[in-house]
Structure 1
Amino acid sequence: MTVSNVSDAYGRRSAAYVELFGRIDAAAEADREAVLAWARGLTGPVIDVGCGPGQWTHFLFEHGLEIEGIDPTPEFIDAAEQQYPEVRFRIGQAEHLDVDNGSLGGVLSWYSLIHIDPLCIDTALAEFARCLRPGGSLALGFFEGPEVRAFSHAVATAYYWPLDTLSARVEACGFTITEAGKRTDPGVRAHGFITSTRNSS
């Protein structure tokens, strides 16, 4: 599926999505703790890629980060700007962050790569590497599974990634893994979490 297809699909369901997930307290406490622990080590501007209705962007803004959220779905950006007017949001996508080389201290990609065809995911990872300064950090949240496999997500086709496989792809795009873990909570798909730092060359 193209970015436009996925964006259109989320746009049609945006009201229900915002109702369910538009506040940070809808996120698991373990996820909030993990993302905040990652964020405490950051310096410089941060982008929340695929920010949706802005709950994670606002959460990190409240904890002192210089952050903006980007998303390809106009309905989400509208909702984010209405709910969190003190935070910066704009239309954008993972494959093109529209910032200068090495200008970012951090990139949060929280389930924003789940709809990208596995053959194409390196494009987004390479873009993150381009935009991060050496030593800058990337945090990924994703659906973890025993093999790279498509499944019928509620909005659009999504993909499972084995933790080791996605970690290797991240490393191949210029990063060093600093943390990698997974967990399975009752009633939901397995969760994967990777943090990494941008290599100096």
Structure 2
Amino acid sequence: MTEHPDVEATRAAYNTVAADYAELLRNELDGKPFDRAMLGTFAELVESAGDGLVADLGCGPGRITAHLHSLGLAAFGIDLSPEMVAVARRDHPGLRFDEGSIESLELADGALGGIVAWYSIIHTPPARLPGVFAEFHRSLRDGGLLLLAFQAGDEPRHLGFAYGHEIDLEAYRLPPERITELLLQAGFAVEAQLLREPDDRYEKTRQAYLLARKPARKPARS
């Protein structure tokens, strides 16, 4: 299957910045209490639903994967960029990291107890997000949890320079109410939302977090 040009561009950009990206963001969660709170809530809910594998999709250098593992989850990472996967394997040798696309996961139906997509839907054109959420829904077991993080807004942004490198990458700020609508259309039940103000050190826009669940099927009547 032929890749979309934007997928190729995203892979190339993250291959370019992988090492510097990993170093810059290595300890970022230490100063992000709301981020840790959302990840902690997700971990608690996954455990209460019966554990299961958790995929960190668009895992980059593996920092969120490692944090989920520290919270007791059987977490592994998937990323489009082979250079990011190489950095993740180097920095977290005890964890599993695979190459792959969030639009076409090489996972069986219902294979996962949880999915985290931490700023990894922001490079997919909004018109293709329904397909991404359908793929997430397919890969989760009944009762499985999904946690999304993304920049809130309603406009594309071109990145020509980032993490010390020249790149060519599109990023999309997304309206939380529209993402909620798309999750509902994909069959999810949205359980929690957080919209926080930007951190003046790094951020220029509000940050959004959505926690959703794939509902358990109701037993058939006899």
Provide TM-score, normalisation by structure 2.
0.85
- RMSD of aligned Cα (Å): 1.5
Matched, 1:33 2:37: yes
Equivalent residue pairs, number: 199
Matched, 1:78 2:91: no
Match of 1:197 in 2: 213
Match of 1:160 in 2: 173
In 1, the alpha carbon distance for the partners of 2:136 and 2:157 equals 25
| Unmatched 5+ stretches in structure 2 | 218-222
Question: Percent identity among equivalent residues?
Answer: 32
Cα offsets for 1:5-29 (capped at 9, x unmatched): 1010111111221111134546612
Q: Aligned ranges for residues 86-165 of structure 1 at < 5 Å?
A: 86-145=94-153, 148-153=154-159, 154=162, 156-165=169-178
Larger radius of gyration: 2
Question: One-letter code of the match for 2:114?
Answer: G
In 1, the alpha carbon distance for the partners of 2:157 and 2:197 equals 17
Which 4+ residue blocks in structure 1 deviate beyond 2 angstroms?
22-27, 152-155
8 A contact 2:85–2:99 mirrored in 1: yes
8 A contact 1:150–1:159 mirrored in 2: yes
Matched, 1:22 2:38: no
8 A contact 2:148–2:209 mirrored in 1: yes
8 A contact 2:29–2:35 mirrored in 1: no
8 A contact 1:22–1:54 mirrored in 2: no
| Unmatched 5+ stretches in structure 1 | none
In 2, the alpha carbon distance for the partners of 1:132 and 1:45 equals 10
In 1, the alpha carbon distance for the partners of 2:125 and 2:31 equals 25
1:103 positional shift: 1.4
Give the SS at the match of 2:52. coil
In 2, the alpha carbon distance for the partners of 1:38 and 1:186 equals 22
Matched, 1:171 2:184: yes
